[in-house]
Amino acid sequence: MTYKETTEYLFTSAPLFQNIGKDAYKEGLSNTEALDEHFGHPHRAYKTIHVAGTNGKGSTSHTIAAVLQAAGYKVGLFTSPHLIDFRERIRVNGEMISEQYVIDFVEQHRSFFEPLHPSFFELTTAMAFKYFEEQKVDIAVIEVGLGGRLDCTNIITPITSIITNISFDHVAFLGNTLAKIAGEKAGIIKRGVPVVIGETVDETRPVFEAKAKEVGTSIYFAEEDTEVKSYTFKPEGGVLYDTETYGEIHAELCGRCQIKNTRTILCAIKHINKVLGGALSVDDVKAGFSSVCESTGLMGRWQKIKEQPLTICDTGHNVGGFEDITRQLAGIGERLKTTGGKMRIVLGMVNDKDINGVLSMLPTDAIYYFTQASVKRAMPCGEIRKLASNHNLLGNDYPSVREAYLAAQKDAKIHDFVYVGGSSFVVADLLTYLHS
């Protein structure tokens, strides 16, 4: 098979959550354990760091990987979903897994895994763990796919566990209260493995504390950590942090959500560094934060697409994510009032999110370009336009992200601002078009 044929096989033969949603979800770890046994428990050959949470997992995972790389470690990185190429999910020191490895893995092992009928994520996780072993990585940063307790990444015993935050997402699988969702995410907390919690609310903190006590491990809350003394958004992009241990950190990622992520990351690094015997220096931390995108290939986090008109895309896709995005949009809206520019928002969402919750937060004075990503879960653009009108969000609908983006660019003047988002898959379609 060619690489294209192999990825098509993976996308169609194994249920793919990003395309079909809940029907791709397989509860339990039996398939994962069978695959792990077949491949000889490869994750035991290297250290791991486990990252769960509703939002911020990707930025946190990539930044920690960048810091470890700066310190000279050979670092595996397993994240999801991909935006342009399947291989983005599995990287070593920022380099994607080779097309040939993906082809060979499927061809050599399909006779074993096909009778199991694994999900796409189960199979991809097994591929990542085996690849990292063969590449002889020193340490791998592993992002949870969904939840934690029954996620197929949860067979690892990491040196540190991280839970970024909890908000309402995937309620069909994880529960319809914050406490229930926290209970699922807390499933990655393991005996003797320190856990760092990024954010809590009244409903979630007791759940994490109870789980840590149950398994007998230390728990640390980043929101209580005093490492970050202040921060400033830089006009040219990025954020300047003043910190207790590292002095000034120039961070490349500049979405408002990154302030909370940074607190979580720095708290986690403190405990990771203890396990690593203090191998991570001040300069390593600074280098990781300043070059995370180049070092690890991270895309889609408040990513600048164009300078004039300023065009930004972001993968935030639920109410929790949009709490920060809408605050950032509000700040831009104030600046536009002084320049006479207009805000133009290209928006699409998938049908299993709290769409009305997100729509209720968006600015009513923006011009909207409603669209739909090229996945089955995408809400039709006409439907999202009708829902948006109930929130006084007005605009036209476009059947593809490409058409919506081009329409917004055609309409925009030099001082306007264009935002593209609402779903990781909207951003994926945009970046795929821009890279074609």
In order, the DSSP letters of 379-395 are PPHHHHHHHHHTTT--E
CA 61-67-70 angle, to 5 degrees, is 140
Strands 95-96 and 228-233, by their bridges, are unpaired
pLDDT, tens digit, 9 for 90 and up, residues 297-339: 999 999 999 999 999 999 998 888 898 899 999 999 999 999 9
First to last CA, the chain: 23
State the pLDDT confidence band at 354, using cuts at 50, 70 and 90: confident
Looking at the chain, the number of H-run helices and the number of E-run strands are: 17, 17
Whether the per-residue pLDDT at 16 is higher than 60: the answer is no
CA distances from 309 to 244, 336, 419 (A): 38, 12, 10
For 116-141, the DSSP string reads G---HHHHHHHHHHHHHHHTT-SEEE
Task: Give the pLDDT band of residue 27 (cuts 50, 70, 90).
Answer: low
DSSP string, 33-91: HHHHHHTT-GGGGSEEEEEE-SSSHHHHHHHHHHHHHHTT--EEEE-S--SS-GGGGEE
CB 319 within 8 A of CB 171: no
Domains delineated in the chain = 3-296 (3.40.1190.10), 303-434 (3.90.190.20)
Nearest to 25 by CA among 304, 377, 367: 377
Name the average pLDDT for the chain.
Answer: 93
Dihedral (Cα; 204, 210, 212, 213), 10-degree rounding: 160
Give the distance, in angstroms, between the CA of residue 311 and the centroid of all CA atoms in the same chain: 21
Query: pLDDT grade, residue 393 (50/70/90)?
Result: very high
pLDDT in tens, 180-224: 889 999 999 999 999 999 999 899 999 999 999 999 999 999 999
d(CA 231, CA 120): 40
Q: What is the pTM of this model?
A: 0.92
Cis peptide before 15 (omega within 30 of 0): no
pLDDT tens-digit map of 40-92: 999 999 999 999 998 899 999 999 999 999 999 999 999 999 999 999 999 99
Per-residue pLDDT tens over the stretch 123-161: 999 999 999 999 999 999 999 998 788 899 999 999 999
